[in-house]
Homo-oligomer: A and B are copies of this chain.
Amino acid sequence: MTRLTETARGVYVIAATPFTDSGEIDFDSCDRMVDFYLDAGATGLTVLGIMGEAPKLTTDESSTIVARILKRVNGRVPVVVGASAPGFAQMQDLTRRVMDAGAAGVMVAPPGSLRTDDQIVTYYTQVAEFLGDTPFVVQDFPLTTGVQMAVPALARIFNSLPTAVCLKHEDWPGLAKITALRKDGTLNRRISILCGNGGVFLPEEMERGADGAMTGFAYPEMMVSVVEHHAKGDMERARDLFDAYLPLARMEQQPGAGLAIRKYIMFRRGIIASPAQRKPGANLDALSRAEIDTLMARLDRRLKELA
């Protein structure tokens, strides 16, 4: 079984949860989505992220969908499972189940009550104790969690907890943080840094030392291109492609509203059979759909110019 390590790189797409129009899990769309992500060049998948529809699933549904995705992936890439929970007992439970089922590691966001450096370091120290030898991703996403993790706190976490192998970097502004973490002397070991924020800073993030992206943009091929062109040293081409997708990425990155846009684009692209969100999520109204249609048409034209 593949385990997540500090060498993780490339694009870990955060998977959506496809539903039918009536709110049932759509497993066929789920399979198609997995294939689409992997065909697009994803080097990993992340499921049950805190920003998606995972909280709308019952515990049984969560297990079922993780199992289905793991089966479809079939070991081709590592799969990380979101395991943030109000308490350690539940986190431990979920982690055991998904690791037994073949997950590569879990991801843990800090509870919103954490403020001081010591509180944050203590929390992740306890996470590591409860998770045993399971590798985990530290999710640094202050806009949503309300928790600001300074570089000294992150350094204490990564320098003392060997199973903390990856940072999901989603601070905003966050470019200086990547530079600080990669600077000699900050960390005493390598970690993987995969960036979020819908990919809207990916060129700069790669140049500052990130290993790739872990986020959910409906066009993962853009992120794959940026990572690959960066590896080849062709940042101009990377930026040309990035810029073409940016008008859509900006829309999808809107907090809350972005998920409906992501699902609508995936629906329009034939990846999932319905753009529906399970209640209480709202679907896009006609005006919003028209906005996205306009931007998708402009993207097609611009990609042709760039071909």
Contacts and interface: CB of A to CB of B under 8 A. Distances in A.
Interface stretch (A39-47, A148-156, A226-234): A148-156
Contact of A239 (B149, B239, B298): B298
A55 B87 contact: yes
A204 B251 CA distance: 10
Which among A112, A280, A288 has the greatest number of chain B C-beta atoms within 10 A?
A280
The size bracket of the interface on A is 35 or more
Contact of A179 (B87, B92, B247, B287): B287
A207 B288 CA distance: 11
A115 to B, nearest CB: 4
Interface in A195-210: 200-201, 204, 207-208
A7 interface: no
B118 A150 contact: yes
A55 B204 CA distance: 31
A250 B247 contact: no
A90 B58 contact: yes
26 contacts: A55-B87, A56-B88, A57-B89, A57-B90, A58-B89, A58-B90, A58-B92, A59-B93, A86-B86, A88-B280, A112-B112, A115-B115, A115-B147, A116-B153, A117-B118, A118-B150, A118-B152, A173-B256, A175-B288, A176-B257, A179-B287, A204-B251, A207-B291, A242-B247, A243-B246, A246-B250
Nearest to A87: B55
A55 B117 contact: no
A126 B280 CA distance: 7
Interface string A92-136: 110000000000000000001001111100100010000000000
Given A55-B90, A148-B116, A288-B175, A243 B250 contact: no
Nearest to A302: B243
Contacts of A119: 148, 150
Contacts of A201: 250
Nearest to A53: B87
